[in-house]
Homo-oligomer: A and B are copies of this chain.
Amino acid sequence: MTKLSVGVLGATGIVGQRLVSMLADHPWFNLQLVTASEKSVGKKYGEAVNWVIEKPLPSKYYDMVVEPTNVDKILEYGVDIVFSALPSSIAPSIEVELARKGVVVVSNASPMRMDEDIPLLNPEVNADHVELVEVQRSKRGWSGFIVKVPNCTTAILTLPLKPLMDEYGVGKVIVSTMQSLSGAGLRGVPSMLILDNIIPFIEGEEWKVENESRKILGRLINHRVKYADIGVTASCHRVMVLEGHLESVFVELHRMPSSLKEVSRVLSTFKTNKIKNLNLPSAPSKPIIVRTEKDRPQPRLDRMEGNGMSVVVGRIRADNVVNGVKFIVLGHNTIRGAAGTAVLIAELLVAKKLV
């Protein structure tokens, strides 16, 4: 198969770097375009970027010229898919304009995620929502379209919630997060404010978790998403960890599991039929890994499981206060929670012949 040509918008940020890194040896995609803000335009990518991720910058991209994030310029490149890691302030106008002009946009930016004709995809959970692409196109009259990647915390949370919902029925979900620094971007959290400290607030995050999760876990009925009938409440906090969000989750279950071992099996054998048989290159063999040690998962030790695409669940305990279970779940926020899921979505689009 000839590789599809793709571009990354906002390629110098932390999510942009993850995208570039994941696309470097991708069997289906060929990175042709990187854009960034004014101060990087015209520079070599290798010089413009402050590369901080653990794998080195792929040398073949070092000399790529950084282009401006400008619709005409992007169209010139004629890429099949653009991955957007643009800031919320500028993402909507550029993404809409690109979709209107025929480009397929897979976007990490939060605006429009809750639009009813925009698929908000966490593939193992709701790949079937991709059907909204047709609704979107016909309603908006665009030749391209936009698909959204969920908020990082939500992408991680909905993975274990899905099999629990399918197996036992879920009522209330109470989640407290310990989120990593990378979630705020390369320069988002000044060291003086976080050393020996916690910042117990992340702008907009709780609303996203509480609402996006209900859309993602919802069912498609008559070409519309009927939100899942669950109640999610979240409290979000920033801690001094480089990568990896840890979430403490309490879940009310409608039917009681016969044992915690059973819950563990339900989670660890989750291999949704949503993307079964599609052989998507970035899909982890196990989207959910269950650890049984008393003190795992831990961000530094477990965040790279499944190349950062698996979430790791641990400390599954019965909970007779919420009438269900409590557990912790860890996911790599800039891979599973952003760049990795974006690439996985793009693969899904290809497999579904939407690109």
- The answer on a CB contact under 8 Å between A200 and B326 is no
A298's contact among B173, B197, B232, by CB below 8 Å, is which? B197
Q: Which of A90-98, A120-128, A140-148, A314-322 contacts B (4 or more CB under 8 A)?
A: A314-322
A178's contact among B181, B198, B328, by CB below 8 Å, is which? B198
CA distance A191 to B235 in the complex (A): 22
- Given A201-B315, A246-B200, is A172 in contact with B322 using a C-beta cutoff of 8 Å? yes
- The answer on a CB contact under 8 Å between B315 and A235 is yes
Q: How far is the CB of A305 from chain B (nearest CB, A)?
A: 9
Q: Which residue of B lies closest to A250 (CB)?
A: B174
CA distance A201 to B314 in the complex (A): 10
- The answer on a CB contact under 8 Å between A195 and B196 is yes
- The answer on a CB contact under 8 Å between A193 and B52 is yes
A186-227 to B contact mask, C-beta < 8 Å, 1/0: 111111111111111100000000000000000000000000
For this chain, the copies found in one complex come to: 4
A198's contact among B51, B193, B241, by CB below 8 Å, is which? B241
- The answer on a CB contact under 8 Å between A240 and B195 is yes
Note all chain B residues with C-beta closer than 8 A to A174.
174, 250, 321-322
CA distance A322 to B235 in the complex (A): 13
Q: How far is the CB of A290 from chain B (nearest CB, A)?
A: 14
Interface presence of A300 (CB below 8 A): yes
- Given A189-B191, A191-B195, A301-B52, is A296 in contact with B178 using a C-beta cutoff of 8 Å? no
Interface presence of A69 (CB below 8 A): no
CA distance A54 to B197 in the complex (A): 13
Interface centre among A181, A188, A199, A301 (most CB of B within 10 A): A301
- Given A193-B52, A242-B192, is A328 in contact with B186 using a C-beta cutoff of 8 Å? no
A234-264 to B contact mask, C-beta < 8 Å, 1/0: 0101011110001010100000000000000
Interface presence of A299 (CB below 8 A): yes
CA distance A176 to B193 in the complex (A): 22
Which residues in chain A, 59-91, are within 8 Å of chain B measured between CB atoms? none
Interface presence of A14 (CB below 8 A): yes
Interface presence of A295 (CB below 8 A): yes
Which residues in chain A, 7-39, are within 8 Å of chain B measured between CB atoms? 14
- The answer on a CB contact under 8 Å between B242 and A195 is yes
Which residues in chain A, 138-189, are within 8 Å of chain B measured between CB atoms? 172-174, 176, 178, 181-182, 186-189
- The answer on a CB contact under 8 Å between A52 and B192 is yes
- Given A250-B174, A301-B197, is A232 in contact with B187 using a C-beta cutoff of 8 Å? no
28 contacts between A and B (CB under 8 A): A52-B193, A52-B301, A173-B321, A174-B174, A174-B322, A176-B176, A176-B248, A181-B195, A186-B190, A186-B192, A189-B191, A191-B194, A195-B242, A195-B300, A196-B241, A196-B242, A197-B301, A198-B246, A200-B297, A200-B298, A201-B294, A201-B295, A233-B320, A235-B250, A235-B315, A235-B326, A235-B328, A237-B248
Which residues from chain A sit less than 8 Å from chain B, CB to CB? Answer: 14, 50-52, 54, 172-174, 176, 178, 181-182, 186-201, 231-233, 235, 237, 239-242, 246, 248, 250, 294-301, 304, 314-315, 319-322, 326, 328
Q: A178-B237, A189-B190, A191-B194 are in contact. List 16 more A-B contacts (CB 8 A).
A: A51-B301, A174-B322, A176-B248, A186-B190, A190-B190, A195-B196, A196-B196, A196-B241, A196-B300, A197-B300, A200-B298, A201-B295, A233-B326, A235-B326, A235-B328, A240-B240
